[in-house]
Amino acid sequence: MSLAELLPAVRGLGRGDKMRLIQLFADDLVRQEGSFGPGEGAEYPIWSPFGCADGGEALQRLLDRENAP
């Protein structure tokens, strides 16, 4: 089947099905071209400002010092 034949069917899909199709294509590309990006099942820590009042206080002291006459 050619791309020209496939496009009308893809355009007729709902949003969820289109997103799943994108994911399937991306997975296929990873398998064909080798790994790039996060590996399957990989976990990466994400920093959060929650509980980091010390950083805010340090920044405020710095700003106060720079704005002092």
The reported pLDDT for the residue numbered 55 is: 81
**Which amino acid is present at 2?**
S
Cβ atoms < 10 Å from Cβ of 18:
13
Mean of per-residue pLDDT scores for the chain:
85
Whole-prediction pTM: 0.46
Q: Is the predicted pLDDT of residue 57 greater than 80, yes or no? A: yes
List helix spans (H) across the chain.
3-11, 15-33, 53-67
Q: Which tokens in the block code for residue 9?
A: 């069917």
Averaged pLDDT, 8-15: 95
